[in-house]
Amino acid sequence: MVKTPVVKEGYIYIGTLILITIVTAVAVDPYWAIIPGVLASFVTFFFRNPRRSIPEDDTLVVSPADGRVMGVTEVFEDQFLNATGKKVTIFLSVFDVHVNRSPVAGEIKFQQYTCGRFRPAYKESAGCENERHSIGLENTHMRVLVTQIAGLIARRIVSWVTLGTTLKHGERYGLIKFGSCTEVIVPQAVEILVKKGDRVKGGETIIGRLPT
């Protein structure tokens, strides 16, 4: 995938708003054009696609998203791990980067898209009620399940991968439009290095480590 400053999914929104800005400025009044102009700037900011410094150690789990850690809990995961694991939940506001990154290097052995509701992403029920897309990654060290969850404003989850795709550590694999939540479940043996309230950066912040 070509690494552009703005993901291609944002082009239609940005282009439309720029066109509205120009038409408004010419046909109506330059002052009224400020509103769509500001919206175009915000949408460009929302769909930004920044470069990140990815750790090379495959025993490290990096954050799959930018945002704030909503919680770290122990759960039994019965879709892919089929075992008790540790779940890190990250809330993305509309001001965070919404490109999702692979928390570990590995092959996608599991993939599931689930239709659902659009509750606020910060609600605890969002993870089991909202629209979501999960991928299960496997490498020689561990199995990891990461889930994109749509929020109140988000209405579409975008995935650039499919079953059998091999992802690099921190590689971009999708995004969620306009406010959302991302969950990652790792094996119980992984030491979690973040706590509720911490700010994290996708692909860069180390959220867990597998003892060697």
Residues in CB range of 111: below 8 A, 6 or more apart: 133, 134, 135, 136, 161, 162, 163
**CB of 104 within 8 A of CB of 210?**
no
What span, in angstroms and rounded, lies between the C-alpha atoms of 169 and 64? 10
CA–CA separation, 55 and 77 (whole Å): 26
Q: Whole-angstrom Cα distance, residue 102 to residue 109?
A: 13
CA nearest neighbour of 66 among 43, 49, 86: 49
Q: Angle at the Cα of 32 (from 27 to 36), degrees rounded to 5?
A: 100
* Short-list 120, 150, 145, 154, CA closest to 132: 150
Tokens matching residue 204: 């860069």
Would you name the residues annotated as active-site residues? 180
SS3 category, 60: strand
Structure tokens at 43: 């949408």
